Amino acid sequence: MNSNKRNLGQFFTPPKVASNMLGLRRNFGTVLEPAGGKGVFLRLLEKNAVAIEFDESLNTDPRLIVVDYFDYPTRTSLIR
């Protein structure tokens, strides 16, 4: 286990599990993925989805914003 996984308590959802979970959705509005991780959910979501992630070493998608979840702006005027 690498130090980030241990120190940050990271768990990465397997792609099959993410796909099954998203198959249960009933609402299809804009999505904020609160823990972007390796981008498994983000890759399966619509292009207007946004993910936030604290661990900047995982930033592999331009839709992923590196920020602490509790520092993410709640007003849409502040979001890029």
pLDDT digits (tens, 9 = 90+) for 9-63: 788 999 999 999 999 988 888 889 998 988 899 999 988 999 999 999 988 889 9
Helix, coil or strand: residue 16: helix
Res 59: pLDDT: 83
On whether residue 43 sits in a domain, the answer given is yes
Identify the domain containing residue 65 by its residue range.
3-69
Minimal CA–CA distance to 18: which of 37, 44, 36, 53?
A: 44
Q: What pLDDT shows up at residue 65?
A: 92
Domain count, the chain: 1
